[in-house]
Chains A and B, each alone.
Chain A
């Protein structure tokens, strides 16, 4: 793997952001709306339930962590979509660029843009609503790692879907976090769910994060094996997503999809 090629893919996104600062707005605007909305909901819930229960780390913290996952995923998919929208596949894939280098470039872009959004989210949530990550203890690091890896896996999977089915399948990608959130137990314990949903939850790395987060806030301590399970699953999904993307790419090369992405509209 050549770092200069990986950096070239990330540099392209940097140029786009620098050339059009309005692209920065969605990274902040949507998360800010979420934080403000949920911040006032938690404030209201705290007011009606009294001091025995603090909803800020439970609900607002959950919103922030879930938004982080969604931002990571979108960071990867948006970088990929730039190549879809500018019909750049032929230019890119007729070069020495390897798939591993291309995906690494997308991941670096995802890291950068999601960290930008994370800083904005944390600043707003802390300053306006008093959210403190200290309430989660030392587990906050692994929590972010699990969510980050899951976001990367979903982003690469989303890119693979669009590469396989064409730009029209873009609409399939955006709702993925929303579809997963009921199973991930973002806002409620997994025990609330019916049996078949709990089975799916156990396969989703974020569910271990949100269960752990609730345990930490309740002072019960985070179960290390659960965190390890979540991290292991997330790592596995990243590898799986890369394998799926590589398989779709090989299919696209075999059938001429890559060339047609540039030469004509793929439906």
Chain B
């Protein structure tokens, strides 16, 4: 396991091709403890492909992924024990209750003191009143909160969030942003966050990786990138980058 100063996530020269189609092309980046990194880019840029490779559900064509110092390709189970994720397109089974889902996934992640952990998360995500409700009948905002509670079960060193606030109201979205920011600060965990909401990315992320056509075009702190490129905000920069062909940045290998 890595120390508190070593990167929680190391991605080196990661690539994924499907025949002639290149989804992700030779990307490298790191996320350090307590850091929240935004992975942004237009649809089809390779964000979800990258996240799926880090989650171990998609094998890279080449490259290396290390989670907390553990090589994902060689020690998949150990590496994934340090991660968790939430994505709007991966809701928990709708035919189980909130509490049942948390218990099943808590056991899979080997969470100690699971009952107490579940109680704490139900309270933290305002789900106490929904504990015996089947997930399938919850509102999309409630389902998102359940997915996030699941993602926190094992207090992951690396948290992957794929558009976690995509289908929820602004107030809940703000609560979630506060939650995640607090969590990263308190636990010194690392967060990789994809979003199309540039306001959210500017507010939450310490660093941003602009991905387009499978390559990282820009990387840096949101404010620094805005200043460097002379745009009014991150959204303007996003639109410009998405429409331009830029030379990919050199990222740490």
Contact = CB atoms under 8 A, between A and B. Distances in A.
A225 interface: no
A237 B62 CA distance: 34
Nearest to A5: B108
A94 B93 CA distance: 15
Interface stretch (A15-23, A115-123, A171-179, A181-189): A15-23
A256 interface: yes
B252 interface: no
Contacts of A90: 55, 57, 87, 90
A2 B57 CA distance: 20
A5 B107 CA distance: 6
B52 A96 contact: no
B58 A258 contact: yes
A259 B57 contact: yes
Contacts of A87: 90-91
Interface stretch (B94-102, B168-176, B187-195): B94-102
B48 A263 contact: yes
Given A2-B110, A20-B95, A90-B87, A11 B104 contact: yes
Nearest to A254: B59
Interface in A1-45: 2, 4-5, 7-9, 11-12, 15-16, 19-20
Contacts of B81: 96
B13 interface: no
Contacts of B93: 12, 82-83, 86, 88, 91
Contacts of B57: 89-90, 93-94, 253, 256, 258-259
Interface in A211-267: 250, 253-256, 258-259, 262-263
Which residue, A4, A82, A83, A250, has most C-beta atoms of chain B within 10 A? A4
B104 A15 contact: yes
Nearest to A4: B107
A262 B90 contact: yes
Contacts of B48: 259, 263
Contact of A12 (B58, B94, B104): B104
Interface residues of A, number: 36
Given A19-B96, A91-B90, A94-B85, A259 B105 contact: no
B12 interface: no
A72 to B, nearest CB: 23
Contacts of B108: 4-5, 8, 92, 95-97
Contacts of A91: 90, 92-93, 105, 150
Contacts of A12: 93, 96, 100, 104
B78 interface: yes
Contact of A19 (B55, B134, B150): B134
Interface in B67-94: 76-78, 80-81, 83, 85, 87, 89-94
Counting chain B CB atoms within 10 Å of each CB, which of A12, A89, A94, A258 scores highest?
Answer: A94
Contact of B56 (A5, A16, A94): A94
A20 B96 CA distance: 10
Contacts of B85: 94
Contacts of A9: 104
B103 interface: yes
9 contacts: A5-B110, A15-B100, A88-B93, A90-B57, A95-B109, A96-B76, A256-B49, A256-B58, A262-B90
Interface of B: 18, 48-49, 52, 55-59, 76-78, 80-81, 83, 85, 87, 89-97, 100, 103-105, 107-110, 134, 150
Given A91-B105, A263-B48, 15 more contacts: A2-B110, A8-B103, A8-B105, A15-B96, A16-B96, A82-B93, A90-B57, A94-B55, A94-B57, A94-B80, A96-B76, A96-B108, A253-B56, A253-B57, A256-B18
